[in-house]
Chains A and B, each alone.
Chain A
């Protein structure tokens, strides 16, 4: 009985029948719920481990590429392409339409970053060079014009010397 968890105790005792108690004593448990080998594990070293990991994550063996083993804590989690959910087909019948994801599909490590409210990696309508030129051109132009405005000020209020003297008293 040492290997039996408290939860199974509670479940079998509440059943109240003989079958429950004998199941408890033999250590048998239901086949539902997550099985032992379905959770992420350490980095796969042999080809057999790689095949098992690919099967676990529902990927083809050729598609399965774990993160490099650099000690950063990834284990055998697959390295999926860094694509946001914005790029997925909006017209396909996804199981979870707002996440654009099917049930059982392997999730990207940074899935919560790539949801449709957040980072978007979809192609930009304008090319990168054009965007850079437009943005920095505008900012540069405005900075330059403000600088000119500092050097050559215009539309300063014209005040007579008498009014300037009377203004000073209330400073």
Chain B
């Protein structure tokens, strides 16, 4: 297992991760505790609402609202740069134009063949 190489974009198993063995320090411990405190606060808020006997409505999740809003509204933060313009052209303009040319030339070639009488048109939908 010493030569285990993880797949690109996948994670390394925790038992083979050197950070778990070597990078342990007081700062890391403090950081973990701060994160746990944030998590505990959120948990408390959620459980208070969940176990409230007089609650009749759904529990609204602001993180979910923020995520939906961020995904649905990228345009205010959009700026035309080299990268975004290139992406727009490659995914928006190039397929449209290339497919148009491919279909047009193919159809024109077939039409020319039909007009010249060289095309084999034996297909019948109904005999």
List chain A positions with a Cβ less than 8 A from chain B: 33-34, 38-40, 42-43, 56-60, 62-63, 70-75, 77, 82-83, 87, 95, 102-107, 109, 111, 121-124, 127-129, 131
The 6 closest A-B pairs by CB, nearest first: A73-B74, A71-B79, A103-B46, A104-B42, A123-B13, A107-B67
Name the one of A39, A87, A103, A121 contacting B66, with C-beta atoms under 8 angstroms.
A39
Q: Is B62 an interface residue (CB 8 A)?
A: yes
Q: A60-B35, A102-B46 are in contact. List 4 more A-B contacts (CB 8 A).
A: A103-B45, A104-B42, A105-B63, A121-B9
- Tell me the total A-B contact number using a CB cutoff of 8 A: 121
List the interface of chain B (C-beta within 8 A of A). Answer: 3-13, 31, 34-35, 38-39, 42-43, 45-46, 59-67, 69-71, 73-81, 83-84
The answer to whether B61 and A104 touch across the interface, beta carbons within 8 angstroms, is yes
Residues of A within 8 A of B69 (CB): 39-40
Nearest residue, chain B, Cβ from A74:
B77
Interface of A (DSSP majority class) = loop
Can you report 19 residue pairs joining A to B where beta carbons are below 8 Å apart?
Answer: A38-B66, A63-B31, A70-B79, A70-B83, A71-B80, A72-B77, A73-B75, A73-B78, A75-B77, A83-B11, A95-B46, A104-B46, A105-B39, A107-B63, A109-B67, A123-B12, A127-B5, A128-B6, A129-B5
Contact assessment for A109 and B76 in the assembled complex, using a CB-CB cutoff below 8 Å = no
Q: Are B42's CB and A57's CB within 8 A?
A: no
Checking A111, A121, A129 against B11 with a beta-carbon cut-off of 8 angstroms, the contacting residue is A121
